[in-house]
Amino acid sequence: MQTVKLRNDGAVRTVEMNRPEVLNAFSVQLMDDLADAFLDATRDNSVKALILTGAGRAFSAGADLGEMGRPAPPAKHGFAVLLDAIVDFPKPFFIAVNGVGAGIGATLCGLADFVFIANEARLRCPFSSLGLTAEAASTYTFPRLMGRQRALWFLLAAEWLSGEECARAGLALRSVPLADLMQVVMAEAQKLAALPLASLTMTKELVMAQLREPMRAAILAENRGLAELVGSPANREALRAFREKRPADFTGL
Amino acid sequence: MQTVKLRNDGAVRTVEMNRPEVLNAFSVQLMDDLADAFLDATRDNSVKALILTGAGRAFSAGADLGEMGRPAPPAKHGFAVLLDAIVDFPKPFFIAVNGVGAGIGATLCGLADFVFIANEARLRCPFSSLGLTAEAASTYTFPRLMGRQRALWFLLAAEWLSGEECARAGLALRSVPLADLMQVVMAEAQKLAALPLASLTMTKELVMAQLREPMRAAILAENRGLAELVGSPANREALRAFREKRPADFTGL
Amino acid sequence: MQTVKLRNDGAVRTVEMNRPEVLNAFSVQLMDDLADAFLDATRDNSVKALILTGAGRAFSAGADLGEMGRPAPPAKHGFAVLLDAIVDFPKPFFIAVNGVGAGIGATLCGLADFVFIANEARLRCPFSSLGLTAEAASTYTFPRLMGRQRALWFLLAAEWLSGEECARAGLALRSVPLADLMQVVMAEAQKLAALPLASLTMTKELVMAQLREPMRAAILAENRGLAELVGSPANREALRAFREKRPADFTGL
């Protein structure tokens, strides 16, 4: 695994995205390594809970724009397999949002069992500002976590939500000072890891069994929507404006 | 359009219910004009967002009791078509609750994407006190916005919720002083209107596609329930008490 | 009815679980008496609302461990019929949580229309710590009341939630000082009892009709999960530790 670092503390596996130089942007390699990390933690009977976090000052800046426009490197798993591995992950899954999360760095939070976020962190869904649409089942998970009004605003308006706002809205279970974040999450994860795995996975399964089918349906519908919008006039204007370092102008679009 | 006033601010269309002398009660004419307003804003490519509000001191007092008991004037669209036009409305739909909302003036809020409510405003579902039941899919939308316990209390108890309570409960995205209401809503709507319409409608569609069928099923079930209760002993006692200007007595009913 | 006490205040029926000496633990007899209480209140047209509460200092400690391991006394109805009678109960159903609620004493709250809880009370789902899993449709009701993250934590972690936390999380409609609890709940129930029963039951039916099937499916899935875990290594270790008055050790389980 080139782009993630694994650590075991007893039965708690920490998976740290480790591309701090690009704010842990999701490259093809990172997606493959994350998929392997979830698949391995699924199979490894010594693992009772998983914490996902990011190295450096960001959680994840989202898609790796540096890879966009270039021929994609060949993927071992790809984004779809990563999402499947997360949706199917049978053990308690914590996210520790240690800094900025954008795009997939925000929408992943909808798939986690427990999100802990630093007060100093913030999340954003930039989809509209790129002429694109939402992903990772966020059109299903966010309305259920935050209420439809707040979720649709978050998905449409491309505005930032602070750590405290995420906790108040229900997108995170709790917000804590960044200095305490990893210690708090680890302590909570260890509480679960002291309990029998068969109970943890059975109860999670009972909750998730009802949700996996609509999550998967949302991912497929989002993919179709995204395919329609990639290369559309608004998406082209957004990319042009980005290259020309000017605000995009969506007048008439 | 006799009973609504339209205004365009750039790509934001404001639809103002304009029967202030009867607190914007829903007459057949108002329902037809509102249906036309939503259908027209759906088709008009220059419109990227719609704000619904009321003229005068009320948002809407609900059904027009003045028309009840008289032969209904012929409808161009009717209530069912209005609800369909709202449920199918593909662009961001804001409600600015500028004053009292009762009955449909409250339940409509469950269908909006974003409700902004004046601190001084308040909402009420008077159904039980009239011997009737809920409408406009509120038996589906309210539990998802407010939680089932709070929603069922609001639907059953015929009590008022203040603007602040609506925001706290999740029925409104935000409550603000009445003096600021229209300015705040317009500023938020303009944020969305600066973004590409194709992204706004695609993301809204992804969220709503999962909800439209249960919304429509709820409307049909509510209509059947309402048909059962209109003219029932409790409904007759409520109307009699209203005419006789006394509290209704539902003892034994 | 040996284990419940009934009282009528006008059209409000109070059902008090009356085994204070064992913290109102759910024996076979209590389950049968409660099922009869719900079935009778369903049929009795003089009853417009039901309040469930507990005698003494606890709401309910959950399953009667004293009966476990002994041959079960023959049941008239049993737990499944009790749950059906509650899920199908057509009239407003209040719970007044007057003290500790554990296991079924906590999960029942997910089936109530309105939960009022004493500030001094607290709820706990001990399932994981017993090597077991959740019941009474709580894997369906809790995520919808509290949000999935908070609900899954409550179901997995076997931690206590205070009365105030329950209200903040949405599991209870309101928390009040214990000294005021019964007076507050009775006053709210009397508000509904002054309204026509046909409206109360119709509106509740419209809300519940969409939820009963997933509630029943959750109960069946939970029963299958429970059957798998009863007698499992973790469950046996939990019971052994309980008998030996030591903390359970789930290392490797």
> H or E stretch including A237?
helix A233-243
Sign of CA dihedral A7, A8, A9, A13: positive
Chain B touched by A224 (CB under 8 Å):
no
Chain B touched by C151 (CB under 8 Å):
no
Chain B residue numbers touching A220 (CB-CB < 8 A): none
Q: For chain B, give the mean pLDDT.
A: 96
Residue C66 pLDDT exceeds 90: no
* Cβ–Cβ gap B207/A155 under 8 Å: yes
Check residue A69 and give its pLDDT: 64
* Cβ–Cβ gap A207/C153 under 8 Å: no
Question: Which residues numbered 96-135 in C keep a CB inside 8 Å of some CB on A?
Answer: 127-134
Do B158 and B124 form a contact (C-beta atoms < 8 A)?
yes
* Cβ–Cβ gap C92/B156 under 8 Å: yes
Please give the model's pTM, rounded to 2 decimal places: 0.97
Average pLDDT over residues A155-162: 98
* Cβ–Cβ gap B139/C112 under 8 Å: no
Check residue A65 and give its pLDDT: 77
CA–CA dist B143, B138 (Å, integer): 8
Strand ranges in chain B using DSSP code E only, listed in sequence order: 4-9, 12-17, 49-54, 58-60, 93-97, 100-102, 114-118, 122-124, 160-162, 174-176
Q: For chain A, give the mean pLDDT.
A: 96
CA–CA dist B237, B243 (Å, integer): 10
Check residue C74 and give its pLDDT: 85
Name the closest residue on chain A to residue B174, using Cα atoms. A150
Model confidence at A7, pLDDT cuts 50, 70, 90, reads: very high
Chain C touched by B155 (CB under 8 Å):
yes
pLDDT digits (tens, 9 = 90+) for B37-85: 999 999 999 999 999 999 999 999 999 877 766 777 788 999 999 999 9
Amino acid in the structure at residue A114: F
Check residue B221 and give its pLDDT: 98
CA of C72 to nearest chain B CA: how many angstroms apart?
A: 35
Name the closest residue on chain A to residue C217, using Cα atoms. A210
Chain C residue numbers touching B239 (CB-CB < 8 A): none
Chain C residue numbers touching B128 (CB-CB < 8 A): 192, 195-196, 199-200, 203
Check residue A164 and give its pLDDT: 98
pLDDT digits (tens, 9 = 90+) for C90-113: 999 999 999 999 999 999 999 999
Do A41 and A91 form a contact (C-beta atoms < 8 A)?
yes
Check residue B69 and give its pLDDT: 64
Query: Of C118, C165, C129, whose CA–CA distance to C145 is shortest?
Result: C165
Check residue A72 and give its pLDDT: 73
In angstroms, the first-to-last Cα distance of chain A is 42
Check residue B180 and give its pLDDT: 98
pLDDT digits (tens, 9 = 90+) for B166-204: 999 999 999 999 999 999 999 999 999 999 999 999 999
Do C51 and C8 form a contact (C-beta atoms < 8 A)?
no
Model confidence at B106, pLDDT cuts 50, 70, 90, reads: very high
Average pLDDT over residues C51-75: 87
Q: What is the DSSP letter of B71?
A: P
Check residue C150 and give its pLDDT: 98
ipTM: 0.97
Do C136 and C110 form a contact (C-beta atoms < 8 A)?
yes
pLDDT digits (tens, 9 = 90+) for B208-224: 999 999 999 999 999 99
Check residue B1 and give its pLDDT: 76
Residue C65 pLDDT exceeds 80: no
Contacts of C64 (CB under 8 A, 6+ apart): C22, C25, C26, C27, C28, C30
CA of B42 to nearest chain C CA: how many angstroms apart?
A: 30
Amino acid in the structure at residue A160: W
Average pLDDT over residues B73-101: 96
Chain C touched by B25 (CB under 8 Å):
no
Amino acid in the structure at residue A20: P
* A139 CB-side CA count, 13 A: 28
B46 by Cβ neighbours in 10 Å (0-12 / 13-18 / 19+) ranks as exposed
Q: For chain C, give the mean pLDDT.
A: 96
CA of A51 to nearest chain C CA: how many angstroms apart?
A: 15
Average pLDDT over residues C132-159: 98
CA of B28 to nearest chain C CA: how many angstroms apart?
A: 25
Which tokens in the block code for residue B100?
């009292």
CA–CA dist C209, C203 (Å, integer): 10
Name which of B128, B218, B225 is nearest C195 (Cβ-Cβ): B128
Chain B touched by A72 (CB under 8 Å):
no
Sign of CA dihedral B41, B47, B51, B53: negative
Q: Which of A113, A148, A195, A205 to mutate to test the interface with C (most CBs of C within 10 A)?
A: A195
Model confidence at C36, pLDDT cuts 50, 70, 90, reads: very high
Residue C239 pLDDT exceeds 90: yes
CA of C47 to nearest chain A CA: how many angstroms apart?
A: 35
Residue B124 pLDDT exceeds 80: yes
Neighbours of chain B (3+ CB pairs under 8 A): A, C
Residue A13 pLDDT exceeds 80: yes
In angstroms, the first-to-last Cα distance of chain B is 42
Chain position carrying tokens 């006008």: C10
Do A90 and A201 form a contact (C-beta atoms < 8 A)?
yes
Name which of B144, B192, B206 is nearest A221 (Cβ-Cβ): B206
Chain A touched by C223 (CB under 8 Å):
no
Chain C residue numbers touching A198 (CB-CB < 8 A): 131, 229, 232, 234, 253
Check residue C21 and give its pLDDT: 96
* Cβ–Cβ gap A113/C152 under 8 Å: yes
Check residue C69 and give its pLDDT: 64
Model confidence at B95, pLDDT cuts 50, 70, 90, reads: very high
pLDDT digits (tens, 9 = 90+) for A192-225: 999 999 999 999 999 999 999 999 999 999 999 9
Chain B touched by A152 (CB under 8 Å):
yes
Check residue A216 and give its pLDDT: 98
Amino acid in the structure at residue C132: L
Check residue A67 and give its pLDDT: 77
Helix residue ranges, H only, C121-162: 138-146, 148-157
Name which of B191, B199, B206 is nearest A131 (Cβ-Cβ): B199
Do A17 and A4 form a contact (C-beta atoms < 8 A)?
yes
Write down all domains in chain B, each with its CATH number in brackets.
4-178 (3.90.226.10)
Do B54 and B99 form a contact (C-beta atoms < 8 A)?
yes
| Cβ contacts from A onto C, under 8 A | 98
Torsion of CA C111, C115, C117, C123, to 10 degrees: 20
Chain B residue numbers touching A170 (CB-CB < 8 A): none
